[in-house]
Amino acid sequence: MNDLEKTVSKLVQNEDDLVATISDIIAVLETTQKRFAHLEGHIGQLSKRPAVIVKPNSRFILLTAIVASGYFGYKLADRKFREKVQEMVKQGVQEAQDKFEQAKQSAAEQMKPSNDAGPYKTYPTTPPTISDLDN
């Protein structure tokens, strides 16, 4: 009976430790949730005010727009060119594979002996007639 009491006491002690651990996890989650709410408030405040104040008729905006449009246009053209080259390479590979398969099949057909004649040349089995001999 002594062993049974020890086992029950260990189970009860482990249950208490488990409940304490879950309580600690819940406390950490609540603290994290409060911190995220605080950070969301800061993000909301930052999005309300502009980070940089620039005059609307500034040459800087115009130059930045020109450079940005040129750069992004170049990147777009480069990406489209690469896509076209990759597509052309894929088509070329596919065509080469198709031609290889066709050549392989035609070579196999040429190598295959015809079933009509068999491997040897056949001769007529009927005796020749007089009209055949005249020719």
Classify residue 79: in a domain, yes or no.
yes
User: Distance between CA atoms of 52 and 84, rounded to whole angstroms?
Assistant: 40
Q: Using an 8 Å Cβ cutoff, are 110 and 104 in contact?
A: no
Write the CB contacts of 113 (distance below 8 Å, at least 6 apart in sequence). Answer: 119
| Confidence tier at 10 by pLDDT (50, 70, 90) | confident
| Confidence tier at 32 by pLDDT (50, 70, 90) | confident
Which 3 state secondary structure label does DSSP give 50?
Answer: coil
Sequence length of the chain is 135
Classify residue 59: in a domain, yes or no.
yes
pLDDT score at 54: 54
Classify residue 86: in a domain, yes or no.
yes
Classify residue 26: in a domain, yes or no.
yes
Q: Which domain range does residue 38 map to? A: 12-49
User: Distance between CA atoms of 74 and 81, rounded to whole angstroms?
Assistant: 10
Using the predicted structure, report yes or no on whether residue 123 has a pLDDT greater than 80: no
Classify residue 114: in a domain, yes or no.
no
Q: What is the pTM of this model?
A: 0.34
pLDDT score at 31: 85
**Do both 60 and 97 map to the same domain?**
yes
**Do both 77 and 44 map to the same domain?**
no
**Do both 63 and 95 map to the same domain?**
yes
Q: Please give the tally of structural domains in the chain.
A: 2
